[in-house]
Structure 1
Amino acid sequence: MQICVFLSAADLDDRYTAPAREFAKLIGAGGHTLVWGGSETGLMKVVADGVRASGGRLVGVSVEFMRSVARADADELVIAPDLATRKALLLARVDAIVVLPGGLGTLDEVTEILELRKHGLHAKPVVLLNIAGFYDGLSLQLRRMDGEGFLPVPLDDLLFVAPDGAAALAYLEGQCSS
């Protein structure tokens, strides 16, 4: 399975890095490929290192203005001209999407992916990996949107919120094998 992971390029503390590292090990040990933003910094580096150390393959999809922080030893590195193209390339290359803690870029990515799924433009499973309760607020807002009729598709059809990496991967394996 080719798994896109949206996440931060910032250096974060162990509350975020330890669970992210564990999830990365599961990806690699499962023989899966990580498709990510290609950065050699922050949480992106932690996950790429964990996947690589566990025998997984790395496909980076970076963007021209971030070329200087792209991971040189990725099995494949694609440089997109802009962020919109980068997101389209990431989605086109994968079987599933997992969202780890991140900032505005990650929020942009997950909302676009959910919007595209809502309109039936892709049917790839999307998982929020809720490390340290990071996505509690977003989950609450999405549930409110769903409950008050703002989503034409039930939220549970768009997104799975996983408490840990094992639950996220188990969900994806169930979704992608059927």
Structure 2
Amino acid sequence: MARPVQTRQGHGQRRRAAQPGPQRQHLVRRHFPEVRRVKPAFSVCVYCGSRPGQSAVFADTARAVGHWIGGHGGQLVYGGGNNGLMGTVADATLEAGGRVIGVIPKALVEKEWAKTDCTELHVVDTMHTRKQMMAERADTFLALPGGIGTMEELFEVWTWRQLGYHDKPVGLLNVEGYYDSLIAFLRHSVAQGFMNDWLMNLVKIGDAPGPLLTDLVQAAGFAPAPNLKSI
């Protein structure tokens, strides 16, 4: 395994938010077949649970998301965890030949929660640095089922989009109606005058991984590569 090396924060992509001061970060690089060293066609930041959930459909959907990303020449950006849906989507992306960029705080690495076979595993000091780097490395964002951490990440990038800090598409994958109650609450907020339809329309909502991912990637200005299995 390569030794951790000091790197500079950031990826130089198009996010317009003000940059904080430098943060300490380590990068662990892994070695994979040549296909994983090819520049990815696009990067999808996936937010999801560190638990598998009660229904096997959640893991099946996370696996389908990872296979779609890797199978269409993409790159997964995620929180670097090895458990629950996080580990499932990362494993599936690697299985399909895609790159996986994990970003995880040092405190979680010390609890042995990190997925150490990511293509790149960035170990950072704080949660704020983690979320900033994930946002910078992504072309689009997708939330799968998860707990309060997943929802916090979704609402943060949604708010940033509302305020004009980025123009990257945001998606919500509503697996087996998991987010039905949340969507109903948000529509109630619109009815009560605290939100409007424009804000709701900033998030693309779907219940099938393939069509939603295609929509998000195309909205980000990219054309997914043909699925290698279909060639």
Calculate the TM-score normalised by the size of structure 1: 0.94
Task: Give per-residue Cα distances to partners, 1:39-84, cap 9 Å, x unaligned.
Answer: 1111111111111111110000111111121111111111121112
- Corresponding residue of 1:7: 48
Determine if contact 2:68/2:210 at 8 Å carries over to the other structure. Answer: yes
Conservation of the 8 A alpha-carbon contact between 1:143 and 1:155: no
Matched letter for residue 4 of structure 1: C
Superposition pairs of residues 86-125 of structure 1, within 5 angstroms: 86-125=130-169
Letter in 2 for 1:81: D
Larger displacement relative to structure 2 (114-123 or 146-155): 146-155
Q: Hey, what does 1:31 align to over in structure 2?
A: 73
**Number of residue pairs matched by the alignment:** 178
2:80 equivalent to 1:41: no
What stretches of structure 2 of length at least 5 have no aligned partner? 1-41, 223-231
Aligned AA for 1:14? A
Q: Distance in 2 between matches of 1:63 and 1:153?
A: 36
- Give 2:189's aligned residue: 145
Runs (4+) of structure 1 moved beyond 3 Å?
Answer: none
| Residue in 2 that maps onto 1:131 | 175
User: For residues 3-43 of structure 1, what are the alpha-carbon distances to aligned partners after superposition, in whole Å with 9 as ceiling and x for unaligned?
Assistant: 00000111333121111111211111011000000111111
> Could you tell me the percent identity over the aligned residues?
34
Structure with higher Rg: it is: 2
Instruction: Give the AA of the match of 1:26.
Output: W
What per-residue deviation string (whole Å, max 9, x for no partner) do you get for residues 84-108 of structure 1? 2211111111100000000111111
Contact kept, 8 Å, 2:52 with 2:58, in 1: the verdict is no
User: CA 1:33/1:95 → structure 2, altered by over 3 Å: closer, same or farther?
Assistant: same
Alpha-carbon distance between aligned partners in 2 of 1:145 and 1:114, rounded to the nearest angstrom: 15
